[in-house]
Amino acid sequence: GASFLDAPVVGSRPAAESGALAFLVGGSAEAVERARPVLAVMGSAIHHVGPTPAGAIAKLVANTLFGVQVATLAELISTARRAGVDVPRTFDAVGALPVASPALKGALASMLAERFDPMFPIALVAKDFDYAVALAGDTPERAMPLARAAQAVFHDARRRGLGDLNITGVLEAYADRTTP
């Protein structure tokens, strides 16, 4: 008998090339164990997060969390520039604090260097926000205001022609704004 797993990956192209992806797997425990040797060839971490479609939902959670952080970081860098502070010095200091996750530190480095090679293009980020917001539903108790705000930022960036840039290229959407 066949089994079904949903097993999206988290990681960049370099992680994929080095076999260091993380799998977020939804399915039965037995099916996950049978698939583990195959998944281990492509990834360094295999997280069984529950029955199908838990893997896909976990991926949306991860991407939404990261997207909100990157949108916020772009807004803060833009605001700091307009305030006249030394942006690299300020954000090097912030990046050294416990509030900065490894992923956020990577995003910050990309933004400060203005390197926006598409590892996770803005167009795909916007699509994932659409899925996450749809998953939450439209009732007031499920509104997801932060996710919806970030969703709008990424859709705006896409409309501005930035959809092929990496997620961190959302910083460019703030280049011609006079307010954050």
Cα radius of gyration (the chain) = 18
Q: What is the pLDDT of residues 139-154, one digit of tens each?
A: 888 889 999 999 999 9
HSE of 101 in the Cβ direction (CA atoms, 13 Å)?
A: 9
Residue 17 has pLDDT above 50, yes or no: yes
Decide if 73 is inside a domain: yes
CATH number of domain containing 114: 1.10.1040.10
Do residue 64 and residue 46 come from a single domain? no
59 noted as active-site residue = yes
Give this prediction's pTM: 0.91
pLDDT at 25: 98
* Domains: count for the chain: 2
Beta strand 21-26 with 9-10: parallel, antiparallel or unpaired? antiparallel
Do residue 45 and residue 61 come from a single domain? no
**Which one of the listed residues 48, 59, 155, 158 is annotated catalytic?**
59
Question: Using 50, 70 and 90 to split pLDDT, how confident is the model at 176?
Answer: low
Do residue 78 and residue 163 come from a single domain? yes
Q: How far apart are CA 168 and CA 9, in angstroms?
A: 19
CB 90 within 8 A of CB 66: no
Domain that holds residue 15: 9-52
Do residue 65 and residue 151 come from a single domain? yes
